[in-house]
Amino acid sequence: MRKLALFPACVLALLASPAWADPAPVPFKVPTGYQVTVSREIAPGLVHSTLVRRAPEEVVNVAARTAGSQAEFRVLLSNDAIAGPDPRLERTSSMCARVECLVAVNGDFFGEDDGQPIGALVAGDQLLHSPNPRHHQLNEAADGTFSTGQLGWRGTLVPSDLQQLDFSGVNVPRDTNDLVLYTPAEGPTTGTNRFGAELAVQVVRPAGDILLGTTTLVRLVELRHDGDTPIPSGGAVLSGHGRGQKLLEDLWAKVQAGTADGEALLRLDVTPAVQESVGGSPILVRDGKRWFADEPRDLYRLRAPRTLAGWTPDGTLLLVTIDGRQLGYSVGMTMDEAADLMISLGAFQAINLDGGGSTAFVVGGAVVNRPSDRAVDRDAKTVIVKSPRIGEKVIGNVERPVAVAIALIGPRPATPLLGGALPATLVQPLDKGDVAGSGPAIVLVGGSSLNSSAIAMVLAALGAAVFSARRRRVALSVPSEST
């Protein structure tokens, strides 16, 4: 039983051997007590490393992008929509494969009910989701520098009579007295009820998407009162309730009466000015020191899988995951331990992203860490659980769909990517009807791009382990854990 439980670690050791990968210099500090088992440059200036510690057991994956690398930082939105019809969420590996990324990790926390990111979302100079004043952000400016902190914002519509309308939010649920801007990133329609008014607008110039820091001329097209207004592909919808509804109705009445033009100026701004931004909390490290105030919550106190981002004084960006909730393999970290890890890696700024079952580290579209959610046989059904019960047969570890991911995108390397194109038997969709990476995926083992001999050896080892387990009639089981 012990030999079978250790099998994935043996496979990872095989994949890291010189037969298939030339070790690359590690562009960060290796914390005391950790051993580097994988280190390979997967693109110029971008290195993926796996670090292992034995007491307590930890498996850490790090993507280090050094200054000058052409790998671009990019924030990805699940299924390219904030809301709309199911499926709402998408696996990090699916998002990575969709944009042909080099490396990706999961991003912001998200609501269990609506699947919307908790914080702001800026991608490609577009504000796709307005900020949450109680949430922090990881920001990239136009010059490529990073920062963490809260993101301020402002959105306005200025008609010809100069009676300015201020927005309450962008692509967020409309509440009492709100005036919310819905762009095509929201989905096909606003999804609102009929208790309000909605004004459709069409972009005149500059043509294209509504960009941050750009004054956009829009044409006021139609006022509706039945809710759930279709969002024009080359425009947006202003949705008002209460005071917001009255502002829209007054403006439309002026346009109809000819006392205001049928065109207006729309503008969105954020502070600080950023081109990419993803939510996270808490901020772990500021100026090389632990920054956050500890809280008596499970998020802080329990050891769990973690996803972290930070950067070193020389500009090396670090995307980090810690596997957890898997006794005998990797137990995870508390928030204090996560902050200390980032400091030990050399980060002088760092932030925590969504963790737990969401934690995923993807290289070239393939999962190379071991997500903590597991598929088990329970009452003749396959169910996804955080912690299997004692004696339950574990089918495999499962990658959880999420709302947002962070990716590094750049020129494809001349040699195959570490983690690219796993054999189909190693990563399989749990549900054959899975759409756009929305369903969970069973990940039997992390891996890398291999030549045919390596693939044959890995598959043979997998087959031998499975055959041995069946002959002994031993069910794969994992003890219940506290986190």
- Domain coordinates of the chain in residue numbers? 2-143+278-472, 152-271
* Mean pLDDT along residues 248-274: 97
Residue 379's CB is within 10 A of a number of other CB atoms, namely 5
Give the type of residue at 322: I
pLDDT over 60 at 455, yes or no: no
Q: For residue 419, what are the contacts with CB-CB under 8 A and spacing of at least 6?
A: 42, 48, 362, 363, 364, 365, 366, 367, 368, 446, 447, 448, 449
pLDDT in the model for residue 444? 55
66: three-class secondary structure by DSSP: coil
Q: Which of 49-58, 104-113, 136-145, 372-381 has the lowest mean pLDDT?
A: 372-381
* Mean pLDDT along residues 321-347: 97
CA atoms within 13 A on the CB side of 248: 27
Long-range pairs, 410-414, Cβ under 8 A, ≥24: 410/43, 410/46, 410/69, 410/70, 410/71, 410/72, 410/102, 411/43, 411/44, 411/70, 412/43, 412/100, 413/41, 413/42, 413/43, 413/44, 413/102
**Largest distance between two CA atoms of the chain:** 84
147 CB burial (10 A radius; 0-12, 13-18, 19+): middle
User: How far apart are the C-alpha atoms of 119 and 315, rounded to whole Å?
Assistant: 25
* Banded pLDDT at 302 (limits 50, 70, 90): very high
pLDDT in the model for residue 415? 56
- Give yes or no for a contact between 280 and 351, defined as CB atoms under 8 angstroms apart: yes
102-140 pLDDT, tens digit each: 999 999 999 988 999 999 999 999 999 999 999 999 999
pLDDT over 70 at 13, yes or no: no
Nearest 5°: the CA angle 427, 430, 433 is: 115
pLDDT in the model for residue 22? 56
* Banded pLDDT at 153 (limits 50, 70, 90): very high
Q: Give Cα separations from 452 to 20, 224, 412 (angstroms).
A: 11, 61, 21
Which spans in 213-359 are helix H? 243-257, 298-301, 335-344
Q: Give Cα separations from 176 to 179, 197, 242 (angstroms).
A: 9, 12, 6
216-245 pLDDT, tens digit each: 999 999 999 999 999 999 999 999 999 999
User: How far apart are the C-alpha atoms of 383 and 430, rounded to whole Å?
Assistant: 10
* Mean pLDDT along residues 174-178: 97
Give the type of residue at 70: Q
Residue 166's CB is within 10 A of a number of other CB atoms, namely 11
**pTM higher than 0.75, yes or no?**
yes
Tokens of 6: 């250790």
